[in-house]
Amino acid sequence: GAGVSQSPSNKVTEKGKDVELRCDPISGHTALYWYRQSLGQGLEFLIYFQGNSAPDKSGLPSDRFSAERTGGSVSTLTIQRTQQEDSAVYLCASSLWGLAGIGGELFFGEGSRLTVL
Amino acid sequence: DQQVKQNSPSLSVQEGRISILNCDYTNSMFDYFLWYKKYPAEGPTFLISISSIKDKNEDGRFTVFLNKSAKHLSLHIVPSQPGDSAVYFCAASERSSNTGKLIFGQGTTLQVKP
């Protein structure tokens, strides 16, 4: 498809397990973002990749969270030793250039809903 | 530290009337502002944006107003339609800092009643 694709759409895991969430951005988009939305909350910035630059990890809530972007395309968000407070919808977005307003509009995927029991 | 705030979690208006959604920000370095709309079980979609060099941007039924001195922006939808019922997020960025990172508010749920 032409849009941002995320998998899995739903993931239920037990506390303490590791999870991986995958994002396929729109082809040709140089910037990729991860956000999460906890129940009743807004969109919380997690991490931002722009081309070959070092990612902006300033939003990662703890060292249990990490993300990679291989080959400038697909990204994987990994959460180690999951906790119940990690339960949220994890949204991935991509943009053409990564600068808001200069082809920088973000296109979001439908999200991966993570439930930690 | 909530840099972008939407203090009204919900808003209900009658079809045909004006909807006004508000957003406040604290970071004076923000120079680009956007509104996104989100339906349940879908990702947010871009609606309208405004640069800090402007105080108004209009696109059809949607108008965004920016008051830099008050660090406040608002989205006006007129006339409101039932299909506008969704969660609306405002977002801000420091484009001049060469980053594309967007900071979002908590969202306002708009319900437009037929």
CA angle B64, B79, A108 (to 5 degrees): 55
Residue B77: count of CB within 10 angstroms of its CB: 24
Contact status of B57 with chain A (Cβ, < 8 Å)? no
Q: What pLDDT band is residue A81 in, cutting at 50, 70 and 90?
A: very high
Q: Do the Cβ atoms of A33 and A48 come closer than 8 Å?
A: yes
Q: Do the Cβ atoms of B7 and B52 come closer than 8 Å?
A: no
Q: Which two tokens stand for residue B86?
A: 């969704």
Strands of the sheet containing A19-24, edge to edge, are A5-7, A19-24, A75-79, A65-69
> Are A100 and B46 an interchain contact pair (Cβ–Cβ within 8 Å)?
no
Mean residue pLDDT of chain B comes to: 93
> Are B45 and A108 an interchain contact pair (Cβ–Cβ within 8 Å)?
yes
Contact status of B53 with chain A (Cβ, < 8 Å)? no
Contact status of B64 with chain A (Cβ, < 8 Å)? no
Smallest CA-to-CA distance from A48 within A106, A101, A102, A7 is with: A106
Q: What is the pLDDT of residues A2-11, one digit of tens each?
A: 899 999 999 9
**Cα–Cα distance for residue pair B77/B112, rounded to 1 Å:** 11
Q: Give residue A35's pLDDT.
A: 95
User: Which of B29, B102, B106 best tests the A interface by mutation, with the highest count of A CBs <10 A?
Assistant: B102
Q: Which two tokens stand for residue B21?
A: 């959604």
Q: What percent of chain B has pLDDT over 90?
A: 84
Q: Do the Cβ atoms of B9 and B110 come closer than 8 Å?
A: no
Q: Which two tokens stand for residue B78?
A: 């007129």
* pLDDT exceeds cutoff 80 at A98: no
Contacts of B101 in chain A (CB under 8 A): 33, 45, 48, 56, 58
Smallest CA-to-CA distance from A95 within A1, A22, A28 is with: A28
> Are A100 and B49 an interchain contact pair (Cβ–Cβ within 8 Å)?
yes
User: Which of A99, A102, A107, A113 best tests the B interface by mutation, with the highest count of B CBs <10 A?
Assistant: A99
* pLDDT exceeds cutoff 80 at B114: yes
Mean pLDDT of A89-107: 80
Q: Give residue A103's pLDDT.
A: 57
In 3-state terms, what secondary structure has residue A62?
Answer: coil
Residues 6+ apart with CB under 8 A from B69: none
Mean residue pLDDT of chain A comes to: 91
Q: What is the pLDDT of residues B59-105, one digit of tens each?
A: 999 999 999 999 999 999 999 999 999 999 999 988 777 667 889 99
Q: Do the Cβ atoms of B65 and B86 come closer than 8 Å?
A: no
DSSP code of residue A28: T
